[in-house]
């Protein structure tokens, strides 16, 4: 192969030209997956413990003012959690973490199945994000929605673009296979 010929990519993977954005998406998915995994572990560790005591203890460790308005709101939310809710929270975070880690790993390896998987998974959460926006409009929620829409659009466009690029190679494979069978 000469320097003038384009490099071939492995079947089922994305060409290197698009891999930078794909790796950014993958890194973000992996980061979110690891954070949620840590949250799931934290929820499991809080089972059968006095949540108010634990929150106050952590606030003391991180030197948070116990009279802080945000701290008080967090403490109120923690007081509504019981063991059943904590168990449900941990199962949900572990499930979503596994989903994100699978997406991120597949995208980092530039696997085409991961692009389809990410499109389906990310798209499936868009209605929930829109619903949350209708309940309470906020800049972070808008940013998250727009980023997820951008990821889906980018991956869909990339899949169609790669199909067009792969089409001549698929046709030549069919011709070669039919010549071999003759």
The answer to whether 129 touches 121, Cβ cutoff 8 Å, is: no
The answer to whether 94 touches 37, Cβ cutoff 8 Å, is: yes
- Looking at residue 101, its pLDDT comes to 98
- Looking at residue 8, its pLDDT comes to 54
pTM over 0.85: no
Q: List the domain boundaries for the chain.
A: 18-46+81-181
- Looking at residue 54, its pLDDT comes to 81
Other Cβ atoms less than 10 A from the Cβ of 93: the count is: 20
Output 182 or 141, whichever has higher pLDDT. 141
pLDDT tens digits along 102-128: 999 999 999 999 999 999 999 999 999
pLDDT tens digits along 38-91: 999 988 988 888 877 887 788 788 888 878 888 888 778 877 888 898 899 999
Q: Write the DSSP string, 59-103.
A: HHHTT--TT-HHHHHHHHHHHT--HHHHHHHHHHHHHHHHHHHHH
**Band of pLDDT at residue 5, cut at 50, 70 and 90:** very low
- Looking at residue 134, its pLDDT comes to 94
pLDDT tens digits along 18-45: 689 999 999 999 999 999 999 999 889 8
């Amino acid at each position: 192969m000469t320097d003038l010929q384009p490099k071939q990519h492995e079947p089922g993977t994305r060409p290197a030209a698009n891999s930078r954005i794909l790796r950014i998406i993958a890194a973000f998915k992996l980061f979110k997956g690891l954070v949620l995994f840590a949250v799931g572990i934290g929820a499991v560790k809080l089972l059968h413990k006095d949540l108010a005591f634990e929150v106050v203890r952590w606030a003391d460790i991180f030197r948070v003012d116990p009279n802080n308005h945000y701290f008080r709101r967090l403490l109120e939310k923690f007081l509504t959690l019981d063991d059943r809710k904590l168990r449900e929270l941990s199962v949900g975070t572990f499930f979503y973490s596994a989903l994100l880690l699978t997406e991120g790993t597949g995208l980092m390896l530039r696997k085409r199945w991961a692009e389809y998987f990410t499109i389906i998974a990310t798209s499936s959460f868009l209605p929930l994000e829109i619903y949350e926006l209708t309940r309470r409009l906020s800049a972070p929620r808008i940013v998250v929605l727009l980023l997820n829409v951008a990821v889906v659009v980018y991956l869909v466009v990339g899949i169609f673009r790669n199909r067009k690029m792969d089409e001549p190679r698929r046709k030549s494979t069919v011709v070669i296979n039919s010549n071999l069978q003759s």
